[in-house]
Structure 1
Amino acid sequence: MIAVELSREDPWPQADWDALAATAIRAAIARTPYGSLLDTSAAVEVSVRLTSDDEVRSLNHQYRQKDRPTNVLSFPMVQRDLLDTVSQNSDDGELLLGDIVLAHGVCAAEAGERGIAVETHATHLLVHGTLHLLGYDHMDDGEAEDMEAIEREALGDLGIADPYLVRED
């Protein structure tokens, strides 16, 4: 069972972020070999924080030595090789998969550049962040292509257009 704990701070507007986050996270997990996490009896928790660029900048500086805000940060709490045995590796039947943090200003600016709603772009970033929690990365071309393919499939399941499609204006 997937549980999403979400906190929203200004300047993020009021919206049903809980439902949006849960839907995005479930769609991402479903498209990976870890889809069984959706049905496990263990409580698998993902923490989502919607916050300001300033907070994300601080976290990015502290954990990645990059002194600038970024759209999404992910902090995995489980090693990838342990994900298949999540229910056996949890003493109390609960497991924190990790934290996902989104920066409002960066997210809103990127959504504006793409001509899409902030909620749509946030959904993409939540899918992307969830894949990071599952051990996916985009440090080389092969990894990036694999991760993007899963993102496209998950977003397609949600009726969201391919975010990597190059638009010709």
Structure 2
Amino acid sequence: MLTDVVIEDERWTAVGLPDLAERAARAALAELGHDPAAYEISVLACDDARIAVLNAEFRDKRAATNVLSWPAQEIAPQSEGAPPPAPAPDPFAGETQELGDIAIAYDTCAREAGEAGTPLADHATHLVVHAVLHLLGYDHIRDKDATLMEGLEVRILGKLGLPDPYNRAKGA
């Protein structure tokens, strides 16, 4: 298994988060030419209270958020709009190496999905894809980086049979 999902909030069980996270992470890695069998990703399925503590501790933001990610390697590109390099092999990792950790909050995700009129499973899939891209060095702070990352998300989600989450206003 690529993903190791720790269910802290049992509401995620009804969404099928372990299978959903595995499928989303595999799709993201495969789209970028990475062998999913070479990596491990830890996913914490939690609630808003837990993610708010993590957000305060690691980002100094005292509020809940939908998803957080902690890459095992900092591999962001220097040049805006350029793809990041592949993660460097870890000679001590054995058969698989840790790509990083993800935390996803049920309450915020459910609220956002409801507001967007999107099934919770679809929104959670998008957020896992988004977080895996962060683990791979993609970001959305600079405009060209955001365009690159968003395009990848849309392409990956499309291959999973999900609509463009950024094009809801146009009915897509």
TM-score range, shorter chain: 0.7 to 0.9
- Report the equivalent of 1:36: 34
Q: How does 1:128-139 map to 2 (within 5 A)?
A: 128-139=130-141
Q: CA RMSD in A?
A: 2.0
Contact 1:45/1:96, CA 8 A, preserved across alignment = yes
- Report the equivalent of 1:21: 21
TM-score by length of 2: 0.86
With over 3 angstroms needed to count, the CA separation of the structure-2 counterparts of 1:168 and 1:149, relative to structure 1, is: closer
With over 3 angstroms needed to count, the CA separation of the structure-2 counterparts of 1:113 and 1:38, relative to structure 1, is: same
With over 3 angstroms needed to count, the CA separation of the structure-2 counterparts of 1:89 and 1:56, relative to structure 1, is: same
Unaligned runs of 5+ in 1: none
Aligned length: 162
- Which moves more between the two structures, 7-16 or 55-64? 7-16
> What is the rounded CA distance, in whole Å, between the counterparts of 2:64 and 2:16 in structure 1?
24
> What is the rounded CA distance, in whole Å, between the counterparts of 1:29 and 1:6 in structure 2?
17
Measured after TM superposition, the shift of residue 91 of structure 1 is 4.3
- Report the equivalent of 2:6: 7
Percent identity at matched positions? 39
Measured after TM superposition, the shift of residue 23 of structure 1 is 0.6
Structure 1 residue runs of 4 or more that deviate by more than 4 Å after TM superposition: none
With over 3 angstroms needed to count, the CA separation of the structure-2 counterparts of 1:84 and 1:61, relative to structure 1, is: closer
Give the counterpart of 2:148 among 146, 149, 167. 146
> What is the rounded CA distance, in whole Å, between the counterparts of 2:133 and 2:117 in structure 1?
24
Q: Which residue identity does 2:4 align to in structure 1? A: E
Measured after TM superposition, the shift of residue 116 of structure 1 is 1.1
- Which moves more between the two structures, 71-80 or 89-98? 89-98
1:79 maps onto 2:85 in alignment: no
Q: Which residue identity does 1:83 align to in structure 2? A: A
> What is the rounded CA distance, in whole Å, between the counterparts of 1:100 and 1:148 in structure 2?
19
Give the counterpart of 1:63 among 58, 68, 74. 58
> What is the rounded CA distance, in whole Å, between the counterparts of 1:153 and 1:144 in structure 2?
14
Unaligned runs of 5+ in 2: 76-83
Q: Deviations over 1:40-69 (max 9, x none)?
A: xx4x10011110100000000000000000
